[in-house]
């Protein structure tokens, strides 16, 4: 079957390819932008920490503002369901344990669902 | 080919490669900074990107209304390109015809090319304001709707078409409009490509005119957005360079797609025979 010459033109292939890529990307974004951030809080030995207060900071133009708060469960798991940003920081705090380092989490699009690969870890209590 | 001639060709190619490389260095440096967070004043600078990532582009997309600027730039450039092809083709065709005062018109056009846009920007602003086009897409594209350089590109392309072909079309009953659309434009694709590329790049990079006539931040184009972004960031971070790459990319893409016709369009009429 002969392909029409206009169909093989770069003026059709390049914009068409870009449009197709954009549509696929938008479809992927639409299915993964619920604003869910899952993670875990552990102590220095890697044991889950329950009842830790986890703060979510959202990136502004030059600073980060606190936007959310969650508490870890018995397995040390926590979940945010309303993140709307593309760049966040997470920090956990618990009585007697101090604070964890702030974890920078950069996302590919706003409100991307994400699960932290590495847990938030408290330093050893001295 | 003798050995000396081969050496000469190799030396010429080597020189051209070095010059090309030198010209690409700024583009490489901008791109490298865009995918890292390295300060451009860091010393010693790293030639290859370290810890490269694309998150700076994501920052640009969300920290400022980039999609809005992009849409504005696309609309304005499209209007400018369409206007240029239509009006310049008409003017170019008129200049291939014989009429009283043709030489005066040509001289006037050529002399107007000597006047910089900055010198005529106040009258251009007043005319645009009188027409009620301030803060509109048409107003943003208005001074770019016809450019003298591109009129001459069409003129030389139309002059390269055999006169007998135009005469035959006229005998067949085609009107002047249809001669342009049906005969001359299909034979002048390189000229059209040259018009498209030049107008697109000029309109895309235009800063001063949009700065003057836009009142609403939602009507701003990408170069204005870049200036706004620079005023916020005030440092040499990767996000700023990511923005520069995102502004540059469409015009480079359009140029790469039409470069063959572009070069042919610029050189048509340059040689006889």
- Read off the pLDDT band of A1 (50, 70, 90): low
Each residue's pLDDT tens digit, B41-65: 778 888 888 889 999 999 899 988 9
Please indicate whether, in this complex, the C-beta atoms of A61 and B62 are within 8 angstroms of each other. Answer: no
Report domain extents, chain A: 1-31, 37-121
Please write the tens of the pLDDT for every residue from B171-204: 999 999 999 999 999 999 889 988 998 999 999 9
Is A14 within 8 Å of B55 when comparing Cβ atoms? no
Contact B62 A110 (CB under 8 A): yes
B272: pLDDT strictly greater than 70: no
pLDDT digits (tens, 9 = 90+) for B1-22: 788 889 999 999 999 999 999 9
pLDDT tens by residue, A36-69 = 999 999 999 999 999 999 999 998 777 888 999 9
With a cut of 90, say whether residue A10 has pLDDT above it.
no
Q: Average pLDDT, stretch A79-107? A: 93
Instruction: Give contacts of B 35-64 with A, CB under 8 A.
Output: 53, 55, 58-59, 61-63
Tell me which range, B25-39, B145-159, B249-263, is most confidently predicted by mean pLDDT: B145-159
Q: What mean pLDDT value characterizes chain B?
A: 89
pLDDT per position as a tens digit, B142-174? 999 999 999 999 999 999 999 899 999 999 999
Which residues in chain A have Cβ-Cβ distances shorter than 8 Å to B62? Answer: 85-87, 110
Residue B266 has pLDDT above 80, yes or no: no
Question: Inter-chain contact A87–B55, Cβ cutoff 8 Å?
Answer: yes
**pLDDT bracket for residue B235 (50, 70, 90):** low
Q: Which CA distances in Å does B76 have to A10, B164, B205? A: 23, 39, 11
**Helices of type H across chain B:** 3-34, 55-63, 66-96, 102-112, 117-130, 137-141, 148-159, 163-171, 176-178, 189-205, 208-213, 222-233, 238-267
Nearest CB to A87 within list B53, B59, B232? B59
**Domains (ranges, CATH) in chain B?**
30-267 (1.10.3720.10)
Q: By CA distance, what is A106's nearest residue in B?
A: B55
Whether domain A37-121 has CATH 2.60.40.180: yes
The beta-carbon contacts of B212-215 under 8 Å, at least 24 apart in sequence, are B212/B121, B212/B125, B213/B125, B213/B128, B213/B133, B213/B134, B213/B135, B213/B139, B213/B140, B214/B135, B214/B140, B215/B134, B215/B135
pLDDT score at B36: 87
The answer to whether A67 touches A56, Cβ cutoff 8 Å, is yes
Rounded distance, CA B196 to CA B1, Å? 41
The answer, yes or no, to whether residue A103 has pLDDT greater than 90, is yes
| CA–CA dist B9, B20 (Å, integer) | 16
Looking at the complex, does the CB of residue B257 fall below 8 Å from at least one CB of chain A? Answer: yes
Reported pTM: 0.83
- CB proximity list for B157: less than 8 A, separation 6 or greater: B92, B184, B187, B188, B190, B191, B265, B268, B269
pLDDT, position B273:
40
Question: What DSSP character marks residue B182?
Answer: I
């Amino acid at each position: 079957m002969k392909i029409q010459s206009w169909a093989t033109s770069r003026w059709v292939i390049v914009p068409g390819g870009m449009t197709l890529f954009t549509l696929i990307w938008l479809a992927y974004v639409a299915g993964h932008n619920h604003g869910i951030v899952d993670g875990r809080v552990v102590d220095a030995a890697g044991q889950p920490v329950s009842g830790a207060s986890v703060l979510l900071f959202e990136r502004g133009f030059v600073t980060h503002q606190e936007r959310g708060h969650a508490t870890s469960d018995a397995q040390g798991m926590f979940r945010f369901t309303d993140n709307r940003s593309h760049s966040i920081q997470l920090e956990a705090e618990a009585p007697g344990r101090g604070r964890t380092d702030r974890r920078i989490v950069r996302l590919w699009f706003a409100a991307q669902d994400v699960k932290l690969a590495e847990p938030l870890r408290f330093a050893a209590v001295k | 080919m003798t050995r000396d001639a081969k050496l000469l060709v190799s030396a010429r190619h080597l020189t051209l490669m070095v010059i090309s490389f030198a010209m690409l260095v700024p583009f490489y440096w901008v791109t490298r900074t865009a995918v890292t967070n390295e300060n451009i004043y860091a010393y010693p600078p790293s030639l290859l990107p370290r810890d490269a990532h694309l998150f700076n582009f994501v920052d640009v997309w969300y920290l400022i209304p980039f999609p809005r600027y992009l849409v504005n730039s696309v609309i304005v450039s499209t209007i400018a390109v369409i206007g240029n092809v239509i009006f310049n083709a008409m003017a170019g065709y008129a200049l291939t015809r014989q009429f009283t005062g043709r030489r005066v018109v040509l001289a006037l056009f050529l002399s107007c090319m000597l006047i910089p846009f900055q010198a005529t920007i106040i009258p251009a602003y007043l005319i645009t304001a009188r027409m009620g086009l301030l803060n509109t897409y048409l107003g943003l594209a208005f001074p770019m709707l016809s450019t003298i350089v591109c009129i001459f590109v069409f003129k030389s392309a139309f002059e390269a078409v055999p006169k007998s072909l135009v005469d035959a079309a006229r005998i067949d009953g085609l009107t002047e409009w249809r001669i342009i659309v049906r005969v001359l434009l299909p034979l002048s694709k390189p000229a059209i490509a040259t018009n498209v590329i030049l107008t697109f790049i000029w309109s895309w990079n235009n800063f001063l005119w949009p700065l003057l006539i836009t009142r609403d931040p939602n009507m701003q184009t990408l170069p204005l957005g870049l200036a706004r972004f620079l005023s916020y960031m005030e440092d040499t971070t990767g996000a700023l360079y990511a923005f520069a790459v995102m502004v540059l990319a469409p015009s480079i893409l359009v140029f790469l797609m039409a470069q063959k016709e572009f070069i042919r369009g610029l050189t048509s009429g340059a040689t006889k025979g």
